[in-house]
């Protein structure tokens, strides 16, 4: 009997040892009912929070296979997969949670955000793929902080800065205490040249947290704003000087205050003209027609001087044409008119006229409305045997600060002749004046006089410059090429150059 008992114990001993090891290595799933899994889930939770996440994951996976409809098991399984960084699998199972329960919904949103962030980060260089991912997200998912941040980055990489700016503005309002959205919005404002808004954000960030990055950006923006302001001021001053409204130019210059020194440094030529009320110059013009044996030559002296509330520009010139010579004096008188208006009176007198008019007298008036400038005028020309009027109507459109498109119509009622001029004019904003002008002219009849239209179709390209020298002197000149064509198919070219020197004081 004893021998039999010893034999049974000897045979059962290995089984007892094995069962003990299994009991210490893995929990024992005893129940067969899926609605009674609380103890197993508690043990799985214990393992996952005490360094045995893989063991816990293995157990909950088995339990889920057995009870795949149990929400508590599905919740735990999704959570452990998430903790183990198996985002794609976690997202797959989390989608089957009952999202009407707040706990399930919160877990799902965390997993979904992490999963889609990883997808988006891996696709940053493929904006189209990013937008496809974003379009599949629910409203709650798309409102996530990190998702919105990545969406803005994708829009920036795509080059859609306006859309990115709108998103960043909404992003900043949703997270007013976060600095990252504000910094991104400041950068977008800078890139889209909204310097005032960008500066405001950087200043607030610097006040809250005085970092060198913010300070450097503030100084950079202020420098850009200053240069843009000086550029705009220089353009306005030059426009006033063109109209001979020197008082307006001077008032604008004095409003610069502490920026004057920088203005003088950047625009010495304009500064020279502001301080001057007088100008004296001399020059020469030479033009040659390829179908003529003569050269058009004009030598002149010119001057600008103030007279009470007027500014007078006058010019005395000797004109050689057709192997003949005329001496002519001409001028323009600029009165001070209301703000949006400007104009001048033009006049000329030729002594012993042989081919120029005996005299001329004209009135010209212009009005500015935004980017448009409208003009009208009338000019009387008197010759030996006749006199006639030229009616002028024109408008100009400023495509930008330096490029102007102008169209003018000259009409002679006496002969029912007209000439239409289309002109594109570019002028540099620098202290040296460079001007490039293209003009297309068309007329219904051939006119031979000193007017600008002498053929039925005319193409003209002109280049001119004025460069500041020392002691208020400037040197200037230009080149001109004109191609003319008449109705009987004959054509000729006219080309030439100009050269002048001026002093301002």
Q: What is the mean pLDDT of each run of 10 residues along the chain (505 residues)?
A: 51 46 40 63 76 78 76 79 76 74 75 71 67 67 74 79 90 88 92 92 91 91 92 86 79 87 84 83 93 86 90 95 92 86 94 92 94 95 90 93 89 87 84 85 62 66 89 91 74 90 92
Query: Same domain, yes or no, for 191 and 235?
Result: no
Q: By the 8 A CB rule, do 201 and 189 touch?
A: yes
Q: CB under 8 Å to 92, separation ≥6 — which residues?
A: none
Query: Same domain, yes or no, for 318 and 467?
Result: yes
d(CA 297, CA 321): 7
d(CA 422, CA 406): 6
| Predicted local confidence at residue 180, as pLDDT | 87
For 52, phi then psi, to 5°, come to: -120, 55
Whether residue 236 lies inside any domain: the answer is yes
Beta bridge partners of 379: 362, 390
CATH code: domain of residue 483 = 2.40.160.40
Query: Same domain, yes or no, for 247 and 383?
Result: no
CA–CA distance from 477 to each of 281, 345, 434 (Å)? 12, 26, 10
Query: Same domain, yes or no, for 339 and 404?
Result: yes
Query: Same domain, yes or no, for 168 and 295?
Result: no
Whether residue 12 lies inside any domain: the answer is no
User: In which residue are the tokens 């540099």 written?
Assistant: 428
Whether residue 351 lies inside any domain: the answer is yes
d(CA 219, CA 242): 35
Query: Which structural domain, as residue segments, surrounds residue 107?
Result: 23-207
d(CA 91, CA 115): 7
| Predicted local confidence at residue 489, as pLDDT | 55
d(CA 119, CA 136): 13
| Predicted local confidence at residue 158, as pLDDT | 76
Q: By the 8 A CB rule, do 218 and 202 touch?
A: yes
User: In which residue are the tokens 């990252």 written?
Assistant: 180
Query: Same domain, yes or no, for 287 and 265?
Result: no
Q: What tokens were used for 31?
A: 């129940």
DSSP assignment string, 285-300: EEEEETT-SSEEEEEE
DSSP 258: G
| Predicted local confidence at residue 445, as pLDDT | 65
User: In which residue are the tokens 């909204």 written?
Assistant: 194
Residues in the chain: 505
d(CA 290, CA 495): 9
């Amino acid at each position: 009997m004893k021998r039999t008992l010893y034999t049974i114990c000897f045979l059962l001993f290995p089984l007892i040892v094995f069962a003990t090891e299994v009991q210490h290595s893995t929990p024992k799933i005893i129940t067969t009912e899926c609605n009674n899994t609380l103890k197993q889930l508690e043990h799985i939770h214990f393992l996952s929070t005490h360094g045995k996440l893989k063991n816990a994951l293995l157990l909950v996976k088995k339990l889920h296979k057995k009870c795949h409809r149990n929400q508590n098991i599905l919740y735990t399984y999704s959570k452990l997969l998430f903790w183990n960084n198996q985002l794609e699998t976690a997202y797959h199972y989390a989608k089957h949670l009952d999202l009407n329960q707040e706990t399930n919904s919160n877990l799902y949103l965390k997993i979904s955000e992490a999963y889609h962030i990883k997808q988006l980060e891996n696709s940053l260089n493929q904006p189209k793929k990013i937008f496809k991912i974003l379009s599949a997200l629910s409203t709650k998912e798309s409102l996530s902080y990190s998702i919105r941040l990545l969406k803005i980055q994708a829009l920036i990489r795509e080059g859609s800065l306006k859309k990115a700016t709108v998103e960043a503005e909404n992003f900043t309002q949703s997270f007013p205490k976060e600095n990252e959205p504000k910094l991104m919005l400041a950068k977008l404002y800078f890139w889209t040249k909204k310097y005032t808004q960008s500066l405001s954000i950087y200043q607030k960030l610097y006040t809250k947290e005085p970092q060198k990055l913010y300070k450097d950006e503030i100084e950079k923006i202020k420098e850009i704003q200053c240069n843009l302001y000086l550029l705009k001021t220089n353009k306005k001053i030059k426009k006033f000087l063109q109209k001979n409204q020197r008082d307006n130019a001077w008032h604008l210059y004095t409003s610069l205050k502490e920026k004057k020194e920088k203005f003088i440094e950047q625009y010495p030529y304009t500064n020279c003209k502001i301080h001057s009320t007088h100008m004296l110059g001399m020059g020469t013009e030479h033009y040659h027609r390829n179908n003529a044996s003569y050269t058009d030559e004009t030598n002149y002296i010119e001057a600008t001087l103030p007279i009470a509330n007027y500014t007078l520009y006058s010019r005395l010139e000797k004109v050689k044409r057709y192997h003949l010579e005329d001496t002519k004096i001409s001028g323009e008188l600029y009165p001070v008119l209301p703000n949006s208006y400007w104009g001048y009176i033009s006049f000329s007198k030729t002594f012993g006229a042989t081919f120029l008019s005996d005299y001329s007298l004209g009135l010209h008036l212009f009005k500015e409305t935004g980017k448009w400038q409208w003009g009208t005028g009338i000019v009387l020309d008197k010759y030996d045997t006749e006199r006639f009027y030229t009616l002028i109507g024109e408008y100009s459109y400023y495509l930008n600060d330096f490029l102007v498109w102008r169209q003018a119509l000259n009409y002679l009622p006496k002969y029912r002749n007209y000439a239409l001029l289309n002109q594109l004019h570019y002028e540099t904003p620098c202290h040296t004046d460079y001007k490039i002008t293209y003009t297309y002219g068309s007329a219904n009849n051939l006119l031979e006089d000193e007017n600008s239209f002498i053929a039925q179709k005319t193409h003209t390209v002109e280049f001119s410059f004025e460069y500041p020298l020392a002691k208020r002197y400037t040197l200037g000149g230009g080149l001109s090429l004109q191609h003319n064509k008449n109705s009987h198919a004959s054509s000729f070219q006219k080309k030439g150059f100009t050269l002048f020197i001026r002093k301002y004081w």
